[in-house]
Chain A
């Protein structure tokens, strides 16, 4: 039997807004619902045709366990169609897409709504374990005096919240936070502060230039006021301004700043995907095809190098050379990390350290993240993977070219990559 091939029919996303700004009062469900609802109205398809909804979300809100199901129902997909949530950290949005392909291959559906959503503004605050125990003791007390006695055990420190976002961005195995893993790469691969700042500036300026292209991706959100554009992009970004920022993770000798890292952002992306046969049967005109994909593992303390072997594997499976691709979308978790990946792809010594036998070659810098990346647009962790697909296909159509390669590094020491072809 011929393996079904997955085609992407349409995409829609919310604007990406810095955490705590325009979209802060919408939770991940609301954002995801908006993206799916816009996708359905833009395509005008009958929701009954959708076999399953798969969404990625890293920080699933406790009030919406299996957030994909909540999103699907609220966006008007039929109750009879199932939904599931996937988690591969920063690649969750891409994982939703590749899982749909896996399901197609297994004969478990032909049309899927996939995507990712994240409201980093709404990451919960927790209580520490000792505080939780004290609360439990207080609740167990039978009468008022018992409760009062239990309450006396509280200390001010118990009320200091444990910040969910901080926990989420720390790798529990190496106990380094994501910024620290970027510092490791900056040290080991000799990525200087200036190189990082220059890359960050480029991201902002590219995003500014590609404004009209990015706006096409967006389905405006109305909440109190109209939110129709990404708000993280700084058209006035300069080396001077970036140079003034203090290192965040290693305050003395560090190079990674808020300016050359991805932004903490709210947003959601939804894609309509189907088997090529189903698309043809419904007369849908696809935007592109998923040619190959791969997820690989690496050292959690150097998670930023994840894309190196993932790219190698994905390219190998598609039979493409590095040069074949016209568009590269490599998620900008950190400038240092993207630069390290590029170095590992090109330089033999670095390639070996990243686990490649031989370098794959040099990527034309103009091909990388031509619409800017997460440094300018932001990185709503669960959604980014799906946005890379959308942005890559958009660029292919805008420049009338054929092949795109996308990749993300994944917290916990993984990489994921996919090859896409415009149709």
Chain B
């Protein structure tokens, strides 16, 4: 060793000590930059190597509230990893985000959607390579998760040794890819089962559910849950510890069996209509053991196939439509915050609405005419709350707060302080008019009066009150806490501020609003009725109930039309059908079968006899007909009716656009999401001429 070299080493040691950039390691930087054409400092990341030798990588995309993975961010991240690999000072790596509520939201789906398939495949390669490079780094790697950590966001952390999470409510961790018709392909399907075991991995990946921090800890996905301000402290502590090896997972030995059972269950549930889920089960269970590379290869092959399918494109489109509806304010008007509301009526809908509102922080006054009906309503709410607590959807404190926010009264009380009154009384125009007239006298002039009718005319109601510009329809679906859709029914006179306020209110309570015009049946029920009536007519013409239902289940509906009628109640269905038939004469399939059954007292599930027979609310098994060719013709027939009526609604301007109609049908009736909605389905299949 000559003198010059010795000097260089000493100089370098000194500079390391003084926390200056090392000169010895400078050349590779330059080299790398030249090779990869990355002379610029990273735009999306900050790299900070501290005196402890910890490299803090902070993901912070400029001018955006979210961090996402795309070609640019992946390349920059790769470059950072390269820098770290060549910097001997670095002995640990921490990945974190500078965003308020988002760690990494996943891949940039918007970009992917508009990419050519070849480029998508390249991107998958790139992601796998970069995350694999991270996994191979010989130093403790810690992901400090604060905020949403989804899809590719979680996959990068799986390449780390530790995941620690903040206990903030915005911290949500999961792999929702299968919900978009694809699967985790940046190592998620391969690495997750090795970390948390194959059963939990399958559960997370196939359902796409998001875990909060404590659930993630229970699942073994994160090791520490601490306040956001303490993440740095824990990360620093872990950086000094030995890298943990992967725990031996006994259950993983049985992955073929677990995979077989999981696949069978999935097929039973989805009827093979969601290939991404089936594929994900295959990839996950095959990649539990062996080389990571072979798992990554399986992921690539599977995702390349899935991403080309129309189903995936439709699911991704729908995801964006829903995001749009959930986040975007009404185009005009100023939204006022609503902190408390009155719900008139403590029946199934009234209690359901009161519960949903209260669980989202709104103080609710629930009224009804007798104490007994209030008691029944409260009992229902108590049931919903304790059910949610048992299923760990809410904590005990949240459950208590929900109940605390609900007060009741059976005597008229002053309501002039409340900004929103939602009437959810029995479906009778007489009664509703009476309630509205009474309300008008007790509320202030600008209180928004909403009605939760499913079929009655909102404009008729509006006529009964002074200042009709504050009247609006809020059509919740049953069961309220489960159904994500709320139809907002506007009148020509509805003021923009009222609409804006109601749209933001619906978004605030976690539902998806779809704005429609006042017209018989509004949107969802109107589209549903011809479909249901045709199903009844088909049955009348001799097709067994089971065949009709089976056909539509194969189409992807969550429930066959006959069973749906039984659930709704045949009397209710007949009533709605009649209202619509008189509003749109000669348009709907005509049938007397419903009336006959209603007059015979067969009202569906509630009376034990409808199209099916029930005992104690359980269906009695019926013989299983199966006639596949017939299924197809039933499917085409019924699906066509849905799409036709949807097109009519579009032409009549009932909804603002085709996207809203598609979204409403998917969220309100469970119309198969992978078909994109009735209008998209019509376009895709060409069953209706434009």
- Chain A contact residues, CB within 8 Å of chain B: 33, 37-38, 40-46, 74-76, 219-220, 222, 225-226, 228
Contact = CB atoms under 8 A, between A and B. Distances in A.
Interface string B414-441: 1111000000000000000000000000
A42 B409 CA distance: 8
B415 A44 contact: yes
Interface string B369-392: 001101100110000000000000
Given A222-B374, A225-B375, A226-B375, A44 B413 contact: yes
A43 B408 CA distance: 13
A45 B405 CA distance: 16
Nearest to A39: B407
A45 B414 CA distance: 8
Given A222-B378, A222-B379, A41 B404 contact: no
B401 to A, nearest CB: 8
30 contacts: A33-B404, A37-B404, A37-B407, A38-B407, A38-B409, A41-B365, A41-B407, A41-B408, A41-B409, A41-B413, A42-B409, A43-B413, A43-B414, A44-B413, A44-B414, A44-B415, A44-B417, A45-B417, A46-B417, A219-B409, A220-B371, A220-B374, A220-B375, A222-B375, A222-B379, A225-B375, A226-B371, A226-B372, A226-B374, A226-B375
B209 to A, nearest CB: 32
Contacts of A42: 409, 411, 413
B407 A228 contact: no
B639 to A, nearest CB: 46
A44 B407 CA distance: 12
A40 B416 contact: no
Nearest to B378: A222
Nearest to A219: B409
A44 B367 CA distance: 13
B371 A228 contact: yes
B322 interface: no
A74 B404 contact: yes
B184 to A, nearest CB: 43
B279 interface: no
Contacts of B408: 41, 222
A30 to B, nearest CB: 9
B420 to A, nearest CB: 14
B218 to A, nearest CB: 27
A44 B405 contact: no
A38 B371 CA distance: 14
Given A41-B408, A44-B415, 9 more contacts: A38-B407, A38-B409, A40-B407, A43-B414, A76-B405, A222-B374, A222-B378, A222-B408, A226-B374
Contacts of A40: 407
Contacts of B172: none
A98 to B, nearest CB: 28
Contacts of B363: 76
| From B363, B372, B407, B409, residue with most partner A Cβ within 10 Å | B407
Interface of B: 363, 365, 371-372, 374-375, 378-379, 400, 404-405, 407-411, 413-417
Contacts of A219: 409
Contacts of A225: 375
Nearest to B365: A41
Contacts of A43: 413-414
A108 B83 CA distance: 65
| From A41, A42, A222, residue with most partner B Cβ within 10 Å | A41
A80 to B, nearest CB: 15
Contacts of A228: 371
Nearest to B406: A37
A219 B410 CA distance: 10
A339 to B, nearest CB: 38
Contacts of A45: 417
Contacts of A222: 374-375, 378-379, 408
A339 B253 CA distance: 84
Nearest to B379: A222
A43 B415 CA distance: 9
Given A41-B413, A222-B379, A76 B404 contact: yes
A40 B406 CA distance: 12
Contact of A75 (B371, B404, B410, B417): B404
10 pairs of A and B residues whose beta carbons are closest in the complex: A44-B414, A226-B375, A222-B378, A41-B407, A37-B407, A222-B375, A74-B404, A220-B371, A41-B365, A44-B413
B596 to A, nearest CB: 40
A341 B405 CA distance: 45
Contacts of B379: 222
Contacts of B413: 41-44
A338 B291 CA distance: 90
A82 B413 CA distance: 26
Nearest to A33: B404
Contacts of B416: 44
A42 B404 CA distance: 16
Contacts of A226: 371-372, 374-375
| From B375, B400, B409, residue with most partner A Cβ within 10 Å | B375
| From A38, A44, A75, residue with most partner B Cβ within 10 Å | A44
A271 B374 CA distance: 24
A42 B415 CA distance: 9
Contacts of B371: 220, 226, 228
A75 B406 CA distance: 9
A43 B374 CA distance: 19
A220 B405 CA distance: 16
Contacts of A220: 371, 374-375, 410
Contacts of A75: 404
Nearest to B400: A74
A222 B380 CA distance: 11
A222 B413 CA distance: 19
A33 B404 CA distance: 8
A349 B375 CA distance: 56
A348 B662 CA distance: 90
A296 B339 CA distance: 46
A229 to B, nearest CB: 11
B602 to A, nearest CB: 33
Contacts of B417: 44-46
A225 B404 CA distance: 17
A220 B372 CA distance: 10
A290 B173 CA distance: 59
A379 B347 CA distance: 36
A326 B407 CA distance: 36
Contacts of B372: 226
| From B404, B410, B415, residue with most partner A Cβ within 10 Å | B404
Contacts of B415: 44
Contacts of A76: 363, 404-405
B373 to A, nearest CB: 10
A226 B372 CA distance: 7
A308 to B, nearest CB: 40
A75 B371 CA distance: 20
A167 to B, nearest CB: 30
A36 to B, nearest CB: 10
Contacts of B410: 220
Contacts of B378: 222
A226 B410 CA distance: 13
B522 to A, nearest CB: 32
A42 B408 CA distance: 9
A179 B415 CA distance: 48
Nearest to B372: A226
A40 B407 CA distance: 9
B413 to A, nearest CB: 5
Contacts of B409: 38, 41-42, 219
B357 to A, nearest CB: 14
Contacts of B404: 33, 37, 74-76
Contacts of A33: 404
A226 B379 CA distance: 10
A78 to B, nearest CB: 11
Contacts of B374: 220, 222, 226
A217 to B, nearest CB: 13
